[in-house]
Structure 1
Amino acid sequence: MTPIARPVTDYVEKAATAWDGAAPDWIVVLAEACSKSSQSAVAKKVGYSAPTLSAVLGNAYKGNMAKVEEAVRWQLIGETVPCPQLGTMRKTECQEWQEKPYAATSSHRVAMFRACRDGCPYSRITINTEKDA
């Protein structure tokens, strides 16, 4: 018995139709990434579920579209930011620095840890400043 193949989704066409041919640049990039790989793989990379990406591509997402856009721009488009410590770097590199735990292995590593948590406008780190009672 031959297994039945699932139909291949053309995510670029899906987005073009849903957005009336005027999809924003990041939607096009998202759709192309899903077509090249898989929606599940891209969802994992940008930190959202496959059903969420499906809703975004279909212009039916009811959540915070700006947050999804930011994730796509950070993870798929490779935009750059001016790092206060290192100069221009890719947003993905910026995110990698933010995710590193504190380690006093070098003065550079300590400086980056502090810079990412000391008011950098590109930091996505939320710091709880409330003291325990």
Structure 2
Amino acid sequence: MSSHPDHDWVEVLRAHCAQSSQRKVAERLGYSTSVINQVLGGKYNGDLKAVQTKVEGVFMGLSVNCPVVGELPRDRCLDYQRRDFAATNHLRVQLSRACPTCKHFRGKQA
């Protein structure tokens, strides 16, 4: 995993929302505007680590070293994890075996 200076990911999220809008940031991250609003307000009860992973990949440039794909942004790793298994897709077969044992695995939560 690549390192990044000590940035608070919530502050990075807040700054991007201030530069554009919560709606645009939410769309870019793949979340609803209400999720972003709740995270910023400290009231989100969902998988906060997943939101953090998305922010770190999309806005902070952090990456992971995947044994199947190689180095990729953290948010892309999360996207791969959430894809449905497809026996006809070689990559998805490999990921279905590798992801559950990886330290970056978040599960198939939405």
Q: Please, what TM-score do these two structures have when normalized by structure 2?
A: 0.65
Give the gaps of 5 or more residues in structure 2.
Answer: 1-6
Q: Which amino acid aligns with 1:52?
A: Q
Residue equivalent to 1:52: 38
Aligned to 1:107: 90
Over 3 Å counting, the alpha-carbon distance change for 1:87 and 1:96 in structure 2 is same
Offset of residue 37 of structure 1? 1.9
- Aligned residue pair count: 98
Aligned-residue identity in percent: 33
Q: Pick the structure with greater CA Rg.
A: 1
Distance of aligned partners of 1:96 and 1:27 in 2 relative to their CA distance in 1, 3 Å threshold = closer
2:74 aligned with 1:88, yes or no?
Answer: no
Call closer, same or farther: CA 1:50–1:120 in 2, change over 3 Å.
closer
RMSD: 3.0
Runs of 5+ unmatched residues, structure 1: 1-23, 56-60, 128-133
Tell me the distance in 2 between the aligned counterparts of 1:113 and 1:83: 12
